[in-house]
Amino acid sequence: MGCRIKYYLLTRTIMFKHIKKFILPAAAVVMLSSCSDFLDRNSLVGLSEGDYWKSEDDAIKGANTLYAANKEFTNSIVFYGMMDDFTDISYQSFATGLTTGLFPANAAFYQTSWGIFYKGIFRANTILTKVPEIPMSEAMKNRVLGEAKFFRAYFYFKLWDYFGAVPLYEHAMNVDEAYNARATEKEVYDLIVKDLTEAYAMLPETYDQSNKGRATKWAALAMRGKAHLWAKENEKAAADFKEVMDKSDRRLLGDFHTLFRVAGNNNTEVLFDVQYIAEQGHGIATDRNYGNARGATTGSQRTRPTPKLVNAFEMADGSKFDFNNYKNAQGGTFNPNNAADWRDEASVRKLFENRDPRLHKSVIVPWSTFVGRGGVEFLYRFPVVASDATAYVPVWTNGSYAWRKFVETGSVYTLQDNMPQNFPLIRLADVMLMYAEAKNEALGSPDQSVYDAVDAVRARAGMPKLPKGLNKETMRERIRQERMVELAGEGQRYSDIRRWKIAKSVVDGVWMTEFTGVNIRQRGFPDHYYLWPIPQAERDLNPKLTQNPGWQ
């Protein structure tokens, strides 16, 4: 019975009672003890009564639980970057649910995500209720309340993005109060904007080294801009993004690849991320899921880039990549769907020469190198010869691209599921491209500021400026192209193609393939996949919850 109670406390916000102080402050991680320990205390209402919510330390530890809830989502089932596996630019090697269009409405994936978001909202609401009464410094009180506002908005944004209109709760409620009907999408958007506006006013611009990773006013402003963009309030979105670009201390990092390595943690570009440390239970499983058989942690390559993504990286001069411009070993046009054409080293090497530098910093392609286990430089020969000690060996050897992004080189970090790689959720390049998108949509034709924003992202990558004279529609396509290659593997495209309403056209019926053209699995994206289903278990508990179209 005790464990059943604990399960409800952990996974369902409407039945969630507060946890006590099992917190690792340095990592902003909340840990729960065993079932018996969890229930062996003075009161089951935990933080909301008794000896808690009395001191500044209690308030800070309460705020830490918000970061823990966010980390729980980025680490759950498929962590955040692997949301791109449900798009056209990467795919899951094992799981098929959301990739094939056959995921049932009662899948645990939806229930888990819903529960985590509402758990975080409940924690934020508790902080907003309790912390104002605590005698503590006003500066710290404002920071904690600002963090609570930021995260409440962030979790509602994720719910809105994935589920659409959802119930709103603005205070810490008892179980019998937690049966609201779904609000309208505008009401959800309005609350997100209100919370982020208040968080922006309350949060600091930056933190000392010991508090790196906490939400800043610039993270709040970027998220408010993102909410405006999702709501198609393009002028408001552009204004928020412009302020972040002009007034914050965030700057594009010079080396693109460093952004996705441990060496790039807490860099100048990231506005908000999830922080990890190299310790069992407190790291991230990027090396297992993105990594390969020659890495220090022997990854599984659960996620793989698609040929479509690789082919989308332009030539170094800004022109489109086209197989028709290349010859095979026999002097004919290179045919990517003919496995024999891929067996000639000289022909294949030419395919990846003089390309957008982000290609080789994001993806491991045939005849490129990878520094792996023991600091050895391995060469990706194709066809793969696994017995060659100097050969790069992907997990999937029949014609697979592999991620370089988020995969550590050498053998410094060896805890397979616990890499200390911070995972970016909002970074300046993303903000700049969202600014360009919002401004372009707000205008009749793109102005110079739109070009400047996109060109700055391209310049950092070593790419030339966009050609002049683009109209609104052609600029829109260039911005979308830029987001695809710049943010690949970071989980952003899944939301992009859904909000642009192009997901069905770029995903549904398309085959996942090896780069040799061999079919692996057919994708599916039914019309109703633009929104996730309201979890059936939630509807069983709350009869007021209506289901999203197509999931009945």
- Per residue in 503-537, pLDDT tens? 999 999 999 999 999 999 999 999 999 999 999 99
The phi, psi pair for 275, rounded to 5°, reads -95, 140
Q: pLDDT value at position 12? A: 37
Domain 50-183+521-551 sits in CATH 1.25.40.890? yes
Picking from 70-79, 372-381, 462-471, which range would have the lowest pLDDT averaged per residue? 70-79
Phi, psi of 97 (to 5 degrees): -40, -75
Q: Band of the pLDDT at 80, cuts 50, 70, 90? A: low
Identify the residue with better confidence: 38 or 86: 86
Nearest by Cα to 379 from 329, 345, 342: 345
**Residue 406 to residue 259: CA distance in whole angstroms:** 9
Instruction: Tell me: pLDDT of 538 over 70.
Output: yes
Check pLDDT > 80 for residue 61. yes
Q: What is the pTM of this model?
A: 0.90
What is the percent of the chain with per-residue pLDDT over 70, rounded to a whole number?
Answer: 90
Q: What is the pLDDT of residue 79?
A: 61
> Can you give the pLDDT at residue 18?
35
CATH number of 204-276+421-500: 1.25.40.390
Domain residue spans of the chain:
50-183+521-551, 204-276+421-500, 304-412
Q: Is the pLDDT of residue 414 over 60?
A: yes
The reported pLDDT for the residue numbered 50 is 55
Report the C-alpha gap between 334 and 408 in whole angstroms. 33
Q: What is the rounded distance in angstroms from the CA atom of residue 278 to the CA atom of residue 417?
A: 9
Helices 217-230, 234-247: inter-axial angle, 10-degree rounding: 160
Q: pLDDT per residue over 439-467, tens digit each? A: 999 999 999 999 999 999 999 999 999 99
**Considering only 30-44, 250-264, 361-375, which range has the smallest mean pLDDT?**
30-44
**What is the residue-averaged pLDDT of the chain?**
89
Mean pLDDT of 359-368: 98
Say what the alpha-carbon torsion angle 243, 245, 247, 252 is, to the nearest 10 degrees.
Answer: 160
- Closest to 521 (Cα-Cα) out of 97, 6, 174: 97
Both tokens of residue 516?
A: 């040799």
Taking the C-alpha atoms of residue 254 and residue 413, their distance in angstroms, rounded to an integer, is 24
Q: What is the tens place of the pLDDT at every residue in 244-287?
A: 999 999 999 999 999 999 999 999 999 999 999 988 888 888 88
Query: What would the pLDDT profile of 135-168 be if each residue is shown by its tens digit?
Result: 999 999 999 999 999 999 999 999 999 999 999 9
Looking at per-residue pLDDT, the higher value among 280 and 45 belongs to 280
The single residue listed with the structure tokens 């990558």 is: 461
Confidence bin at 36 (pLDDT 50/70/90): very low
* The two domains 50-183+521-551 and 204-276+421-500 share their CATH topology (first three levels equal): yes
Q: What would the DSSP string read from start to end of 99-135?
A: HHT---TT-HHHHHHHHHHHHHHHHHHHHHHHGGGS-
Tell me, what's the pLDDT at 93? 86
Residue 305, pLDDT above cutoff 90: yes
Q: What is the pLDDT of residues 422-439, one digit of tens each?
A: 999 999 999 999 999 999
Q: What was the pLDDT predicted at 88?
A: 96
- The confidence band for 9, taking pLDDT boundaries of 50, 70 and 90, is very low
pLDDT band at 323 (very low <50, low <70, confident <90, very high): very high
Reported as a single tens digit per residue, the pLDDT across 197-231 is 999 999 999 999 999 999 999 999 999 999 999 99
